[in-house]
A and B are shown apart, each in its own frame.
Chain A
Amino acid sequence: MRAYLKHPFWQAVLLLVLAYLVIVFVIPVLPGSAMVPKSVVLQYMATVLVGILIWVSDDEARWTLFKEPLHEVLIQPRLKAVRTALLAVVTLMVGCLTYSQVKASVAAPPNLRSIHPAPPSQITFRGKTIALVGLENPLRRSGDMAAHLAEGRRIYYQNCVPCHGDHLDGQGHFASGFNPLPANFQDNGTIAQLTESFVFWRVAKGGPGLPREGTPWNSAMPAWEEFLTEDEIWSVVLFLYDQTGWKPRTWEVSAEGSK
């Protein structure tokens, strides 16, 4: 046993097995991690293999020792069964792989969707023209913030919960029925990256108001101007930021303060 462990070939095999176990079983249970996709596992394993080969070939004596078992399999008359089996298995694997590559199978077309498409410079909200560039949330400067937030909370729970969920993470009880999944406001890639005017536009115009690159035919986001007033949308936008703790991106003010 100890002799095997000292042999560079078996050390290399052991390293490969350990690396595989770590990638497939240990990484997914680490906090904040997920299952490693098969293609990524393959990449990792290739990297590990290259590393091992560099290590064994670094030293001439070790390299010779490393090759020994491989060589044995190729030439030893007593290992003929192993040799034949290896040849057969490798040949069959190559055959299966090639077949799965060339076999035609219809897959869902790739969904190339721009998550934050460029907003228009202005929108028409129930017949009123609203310029989005430079637009701030008017409720931040007028009225009682607590009242605005209470209003935003009411609107959120009456309208948004089924899809965006109690957690505001896009996992409401209807979310699984839609593709793309409803936006996850807790994620640092959604409202945390956006100005309030952008969020206002997305809420007001919904899926049907997306440009082509946003795949408007798939989005289940309603055009909320059918249901909510301008102030109601602004208050729910306030609520989203307040409840998640994100700060909206603000418009850069030029030195003159005029832009």
Chain B
Amino acid sequence: MIYPLLLLAVVATQDTSAGKQVYTKWCAGCHGVDGKGDGEGARHMIPPPRDFTGNALYQIRSTPSGQLPTDADLLRSIDEGLPGTAMPAWKTRLSDRQRRDVLAYIKTFSPYFADTTQRPQPVVFGSAPGGGSVADALRVGRQFYDSIGCRKCHGDLGRGDGPSAPTLKDDAGHPIFAADLHENWRFNGGGTAEDIYHRLRTGLDGTPMPSFSDLIEQKFLTDEQLWRVAQYVRSLSPKEPPAVRDVIHAPLVTKALPHAPDDSAWTSVDGYWFPLVGQVIRKERWFAPAVTGVWVKAVHTADSIALRVVWDDRSQSPDTAWLAHVGRVLNTLDSDDSTREQPAPWPDQLAVQFPVAIPSGMERPYFLMGSPGAPVYQWRWSSSSRTAAVAGLARGIDRFDPQAGSGPGVRVVYDHGQWRLTFTRALASADTASQLPFRTGRAIPVAFFAWDGSNGEHGTRMAISTWYFLALDEPVPARVFISPVLAMVLTLGLGMLVVWRAQQKTSYRRQQ
């Protein structure tokens, strides 16, 4: 009787000491040596790293709200990481054995795992309902999206802009965003309809996201209807995470230039996604940008260009409802500044950047807003003066010289957690020394910068992109068709010759 117990104990000790080694080497930098989520990297991350101590609160579980996660749940988070956070997938870095060892070690941080009376029991999940049309499924999903109150935090169109969104914080008081349901590739627990259904059933413990399992038991809705909510939420995001393509192709349009962002002419134009990340290069750095990327479309006429930039933003800053959130963000992050900044009603901003002239070779100005010797040409828009944008030269991240009276035309719409904005300008410029003249058929470097004032962003605290390219496509000239036609005639002629020769030979042989 004692022998197997002893063996068990020995195995357990071996596992956790091996796990401790892996943990100390790879995990402690963020989660802290003592598992409190207070490692060296922790104060540059929102959401902060998980605290493994105390009551062992985990978001991604298969168990009901309030229960511990299963080993399989924890292993999944280790293996796959948590998308949308700084937690990477570890299955490529650590062996199966190492990941199991580290899992065993993580569990030693909380007394709850030692208590065998707290054995976690996974929820009995329903399987995806079949039958019915997609449209019906989504209609039912939308109906229950409204009736179970998703919009309170996630907003009417799901961009995380609901009325309660500015007040959200996790159990430790850290700021937390209601997920933007249009970006399923950033969902912490995975972006499939099944993942979403599981999160609806279990809730995300430690966050404001509750479990909706009770509603099934109380017959408020059926398991199938909850699945429909998940399918509806899934339908808000693209089928695949957007791929980054380097060159924005701006077709030539023969009709009028679409000045407004919601002009119907935009619907037939290809859209391009560019991810934005924190400005972590120059002081003051910014580790928690709120704008995750921009969708860009462009068209041009014979003499003008229109550039449409669309991005999700939970608020029309400045908005005093978000001031407390800004305070929480600033409190959670360490800053390069020695004094902590006070929240203020900062506006939302966007900047689009080009070189001053289209480069002929590889060389171009520094992507992060140029340098004193090699400035960049920028269009800047701010929500504090919504209908006006300025053009100017940036000579480094902290120096922007606006050019009075030369700003591009701008039209903007804020709609349910999304800014949609169009810039318009003539292709030619009066002052070619400081305003880029646009030319067709060339790869024009372009970069994007965005600030969410309600996330504490202003000045150097922003989201940035690297250089991409804008190409104003030329109409296909008729001469392009000459060589394909020629090649086809030649091929056909040759083919027929071969056939004719072969048939001639055969009939000749037969005659002999």
Contacts and interface: CB of A to CB of B under 8 A. Distances in A.
Interface in A206-240: 206-208, 212, 215-218, 220-222, 226-227
Contact of B364 (A102, A103, A174, A217): A217
Interface in A152-180: 153-154, 156-158, 161-163, 165-167, 169, 171-174, 176-179
Nearest to A80: B499
Nearest to A100: B484
B275 A176 contact: yes
A202 B372 CA distance: 22
A258 interface: no
Nearest to B92: A167
Interface stretch (A10-18, A35-43, A84-92, A127-135): A84-92
B276 interface: yes
Interface stretch (B162-170, B212-220, B472-480): B472-480
A29 B492 CA distance: 41
Interface in A106-139: 106-112
Contacts of A74: 498-499, 502-503
Interface residues of A, number: 59
Nearest to A103: B480
Nearest to A150: B40
A247 interface: no
A92 B489 CA distance: 10
Interface residues of B, number: 66
B466 A162 contact: no
A215 B487 contact: no
A92 to B, nearest CB: 7
A188 interface: no
Interface in B407-457: 441-443
B134 interface: no
Contacts of A226: 282-283
B135 interface: no
A101 B506 CA distance: 38
Nearest to A107: B247
A75 B503 contact: yes
Interface string B457-478: 0000000111111010110100
Contact of B30 (A161, A167, A169): A161
B29 A167 contact: no
A158 B85 contact: no
Contact of A71 (B282, B371, B502): B502
Interface in A59-111: 71, 74-75, 83, 86-87, 90-92, 94-96, 98-99, 102-111
B283 A227 contact: yes
A12 B495 CA distance: 22
Contacts of B364: 217
A177 B244 CA distance: 10
B413 to A, nearest CB: 26
Most buried by B among A92, A98, A176, A218: A98
B287 A162 contact: yes
Contacts of B280: 162-163, 174, 222
Closest 3 CB pairs of A and B: A177-B277, A106-B471, A157-B41
Interface of B: 25-26, 29-30, 39-41, 44, 85-86, 88, 92-93, 244, 246-247, 249, 275-278, 280-283, 287, 334, 336, 362-368, 371, 374, 441-443, 464-469, 471, 473-474, 476, 480-481, 483-485, 487-488, 491-492, 495-496, 498-499, 502-503, 506
26 contacts: A74-B499, A74-B503, A75-B499, A75-B503, A90-B495, A91-B492, A91-B495, A94-B488, A95-B485, A96-B484, A98-B483, A99-B481, A103-B476, A112-B362, A172-B88, A173-B86, A174-B277, A176-B244, A177-B277, A178-B277, A217-B363, A217-B467, A220-B281, A220-B367, A220-B368, A222-B280
